[in-house]
Structure 1
Amino acid sequence: MIDRTHIGAETEEVPILVEGGQLRLFCQATGETNPVFLDADAARAAGHERIPTPPTYPQTLLNLSRFAKDLVFDVLQADLARMLHGEQVFELRHPILVGDTLRLRQRVADIYDKKGGALEFIVLETTARNQDDVVCAMLKSVAVIRN
């Protein structure tokens, strides 16, 4: 069983630059063709100061970030061989634009079990703040551990 005392554990803030090249690769990989996400002129014509990112792009930034301690593996010591991805939620609060520097912080929001402990759930929440300290996105992911 995963130790519930780790609820509330969090990482340090990690800065990550929102790069145009990474965004283009993301759009290519996901089949995104909206010119607003690919071209500065189209973005300005749509009323954006700079090129914005698609709604699910913050997950890519999370995947690219390097936390000094990984909450799931280092802190909770969860076994990857028994882990499944259960849920992903994106809450966008403010546009994320190419050139922004986001600061990501992740925390263990909850740990619970079902089926008499046969399944354990780890709820991770990540906050993404921009260089102006504005919360741009909240990400929630749920990992399921099969016991």
Structure 2
Amino acid sequence: MGIFDRSAKGHITPVIEITIERGALIFFAETIGETNPVHLDTRAARAADHPDILAPATYAVVVGTLAGQKAKRRGQPDILELINGDLRVLLHGAEDYTYHGPLYAGDTVQVENEITGFSDPKGGKLEIAHITTRISHPERGLLVEANRALIHRLS
């Protein structure tokens, strides 16, 4: 039918721990043009009742990427390997995030990915892999849930 390995449905990757480093977080905030001091300065963040620098919402993408890189260094297959993603025809589809709690500098979070399913729109001209990434804190629970679609263009 398609290229994706449908037997990967339901696979959950091993949890990877990532520590959110203050310097990397500040660099990211500056790079995206963030000007709110709670994302750039510890004193400002604490004055606003945060325990440390608050990560911008889009930093969840970085955390997911760092987890994927760490897993790869450990010899674990990445999502593309698990689903048999073919970069010659792979497209990035929709992506949405649900935020349950903030990420802070100094947090050590756990990241896992689940291959939640596959679909075949456009009369089989496309196939889509549906991936859910969860970022959790051991004390504060689930912080971010990201759903994304990876698409193979088949014709």
- Map 1:25-104 onto structure 2 (within 5 A): 25-65=27-67, 66-67=70-71, 68-72=76-80, 74-104=81-111
Q: Distance in 2 between matches of 1:36 and 1:17?
A: 19
Q: Which runs of 4+ in 1 moved over 4 A?
A: none
TM-score, scaled to structure 2: 0.89
Identity %: 32
Q: Which runs of 5+ in 2 are unaligned?
A: none
- The answer to whether the 8 A contact 2:5-2:82 is kept is no
Describe the superposition over 1:33-75 as per-residue Cα deviations: whole angstroms up to 9, x where unpaired: 1101010111111111111111111110111122222122x21
Show the counterpart of 1:106.
113
Q: Which runs of 5+ in 1 are unaligned?
A: none
Contact 2:5–2:84, Cα closer than 8 Å, also in 1? no
**In the alignment, which residue of structure 2 is the partner of 1:16?**
18
1:13, 1:104 within 8 Å by CA — same for their partners in 2?
yes
- RMSD between aligned residues: 1.2
Equivalent position amino acid for 1:69 in 2: P
Is the contact between residue 10 and residue 71 of structure 1 (CA under 8 Å) also seen in structure 2? no
User: When the two structures are aligned, how many residues end up with a matched partner?
Assistant: 146
